[in-house]
A and B are shown apart, each in its own frame.
Chain A
Amino acid sequence: MNRRDFLKAGAAVPALSLLPEALLAETTIQENKNKFPNALQPKMDGDVKVFELFIDIHQQEIVPAFKFHTLAFNNQVPGPEIRVQQGDKVRVIFKNKTELNHTIHWHGLYVPWRMDGVPYVTQMPVMPGQEFVYEFVAEPYGTHFYHCHWGTLLHMQSGMYGSFIVENADDPIKKQFPYEREYTLLYSAHDTNFIRNELNGMLERMKERMYLTKKGRFDKERFAVFDTKDEFAEAVKNGYQPPYVVNRRAPSDLPQPNWFTVNGKSYPFTPNLYIKEGESIRVRLINGGTEEHYLHLHGHDFWLVADDGVPVPQPWQQNTLRLSPGKTLDIIIEGKNRGIWTFHDHDTRRVTNNGLYPGGNLLALVYEDMPAEEAGLGMMAKKMGLNSLPIVALDE
């Protein structure tokens, strides 16, 4: 096998996929496409785009040899991308296949308030086995996302988030920065020990509650659901112990994330961004987790073009941005500096896997038209028996 064949065939050993030559291999580029959320294809009902989402418990392998139980829309974390045109009539049929309660909140979308997905405010929770139909018109255009709004702290970091992109034929961003390719990156942080403990606890409690619900024996105090604040306060005066008091169920430790994912994977299995010289790409960044991320791109200043889906009046350049929980930011990267560049959280505590560096929110911007010679071997790498230099530091 000559050098070209090697590049075409891709890396035979998974570890080699970290190396520049492997990143340029055709098979690696093709596989990388699967690391972005698949768009969910709608069925048409007249002029309504109908999407079907279900939620179930799933095992997510963040990196090889580490799995945890997640709540996954359509058996994937993050959930599938929903992509529509501005003004489209949208219907989402949501089926709950778990033994937990859920709702879906459409984060950043102008939905009718009854469709907003806040339990006991805009709707009753979607209980085990139930189905709920959300209907709205897709407004405004831009980068948004959806997530569960029941037990949000647990359910979101367990995987219940997905991108919701509303396109506009007259998108000013596309006019200002013509681009063909775009990528969606969903960030999250997971305390897998918290998730496991809380999911187990909730599943146990829900088995009991569903038994009572089926028998028509809803109990306000047991379910911790009251009609009014006064009723709740009165119950406490009469000896009711809410779940958050230490003589009942609290304190439960607040989560301390130990895994950080991009599109449900941690480095070295995070997706990479591919670009060509002279090309501009759009990257939609969504933070579906609880941690702030300070994302830094090496070797480039990118354009910040949209904030919370709203185009900024005057795009400006930077190389590090702050992606807060619940935020969406859109950036344009211009292919002006050929190479392989890391794009990572500069709070390097989040560039770890279970406390070990490197890992977490680390990925690469790869110029796919880079000549193979430029990704060539270093003498030291040859001595180490590698096919090229590693692109990141090892943990020692």
Chain B
Amino acid sequence: MLRSKWFLILFVVFIGAGGPTLFAQVSPEIQLGARGVMSFNTDVAEHKATSAVNDFSDTGLLLGFRQKLYNNFRGQLVIGMQFPDANSDLGQVFFHQTFLKIEDKSNILKMGRSRVRSALIEFPTLRDDDALYFTDVLNPFSSGEKTEDNQYGNVLELAHVFGQRTWLRVHGEHFTETPVFPATTETDFSLNAVGFSLQYRVPETQIWNRPFLQQIGIGFNNFLTDRPGYTSRTDKMLKNVSFSTVLNLRPDPVHFWDFRMQGIYNAGFKEIENVAAFGELARAKATAGFASLRYLYRKLERPTLQLALSFGYKTFPDLLHSTDQLQVVANSFYRLGENFDAGFQVQYSRNTGDLAGLFGESETRFQFGLVYAIDRSWNRQFSDRNSLLNLEHGYIP
């Protein structure tokens, strides 16, 4: 502790005294990502309709700074804020991304608050968490009030890229524990999950000349829980295995079709025989699958219309009452102009057994929304890892 204090003092003195005044700084690359999602929602559950006139959760802003470092490394800082879901108790603004990244051609180290590796791939839904119970390994430390608990955490991740397309990631996370324990026992940065994944994936820039297999991956997520009645670390570990693949059914630049699926097996804890709360849901043995069929029409080298149909199913074999979950999502997005889409989504969910009590038997949600998403860089100084020049004509750091 004493040592770290001294380090902090020296660091502050150095920065304060010498940093900004002695040397002119090289301007970094500045990256701006913004996404506005506004929707009108109508939920119909058990013949009763409720509506939200203006739901703008998932709206967010990302600000990034990148710079070349010595010895062919690059460094990056990303700060991001998001408008959280209603009733999430996260306040008006949630800092969902605040991380530092350092990378060279083959290695990437990422530290900070970011998206946890709870899913191997993304699915075409209006919002990231629309099918969360099927698409993500669930956080067993969460009370379930906010979906962000499952998506964001404090992350320490090391990735190694083999031959541009095979990614090995080893990651440790601190998943949010809710309700928050007293400060004396809660240490925000301790790891309560570890995992790794291995993925083959074709970079987006090469989609047109890689005809069929776009992605295949396997991942392991292990949560270091406080499982009552067990002392062994292995016994207290909640284990999840994921598998995913993305197939280009028709890699046509105008009429593009792809199919993607992901399965998650949660080994669960055998003593969980009933689910009355989210924590039990995340700790019960379960198998989930989610699959999407997507059609994309691209008129002038830009996406113009997207139609997607997704289906999810989840079963809980160890529960005393036969329990399963089902979800169907159909949506379409139409481009109104550069970066701006109008979207419509219908989402049907059905729950049986214990989950009918937790989430209700069924719900149908209709959403009509507008989405504005930009991704822009200024003062660019180097190519992205997955640029065609770097991939196919020799990597330049």
Contact = CB atoms under 8 A, between A and B. Distances in A.
Contacts of A193: 380-381
B312 to A, nearest CB: 32
A382 interface: no
Contacts of A211: 208-209, 252-253
Interface string A188-218: 0000010011011001110110011000010
B337 A247 contact: yes
Contact of B389 (A57, A208, A221): A57
Contacts of B337: 247
A197 B393 contact: no
A68 interface: yes
B375 interface: no
B396 A69 contact: yes
A248 interface: yes
A207 B208 contact: yes
A213 to B, nearest CB: 11
A200 B205 CA distance: 9
B96 to A, nearest CB: 29
Interface residues of A, number: 25
Contacts of A68: 396
A86 interface: no
B302 interface: yes
A241 interface: yes
A43 interface: no
Nearest to B251: A211
B383 interface: yes
Contacts of A203: 388-389, 392
B301 A208 contact: yes
B interface residue count range (under 10 / 10 to 19 / 20 to 34 / 35 or more) = 20 to 34
Interface in B227-254: 252-254
Interface in B90-128: none
B302 A204 contact: no
B16 interface: no
Contacts of B392: 57, 203
B394 interface: yes
Interface string A164-203: 0000000000000000000000000000010011011001
B387 to A, nearest CB: 5
A222 B301 contact: yes
B15 interface: no
Contacts of B206: 207
B52 interface: no
A67 interface: yes
Q: Which 5 A-B pairs have the closest CB atoms?
A: A208-B253, A203-B388, A57-B393, A69-B389, A207-B208
Interface of A: 57, 59, 67-69, 193, 196-197, 199-200, 203-205, 207-208, 211-212, 217, 219, 221-222, 241, 246-248
Given A203-B392, A211-B209, A248-B338, 8 more contacts: A57-B393, A69-B393, A196-B383, A205-B301, A208-B301, A217-B254, A241-B300, A248-B302
18 contacts: A57-B392, A57-B393, A67-B396, A193-B381, A196-B387, A196-B389, A200-B383, A200-B387, A200-B389, A208-B253, A211-B208, A211-B252, A217-B254, A221-B300, A222-B299, A222-B300, A246-B338, A248-B302
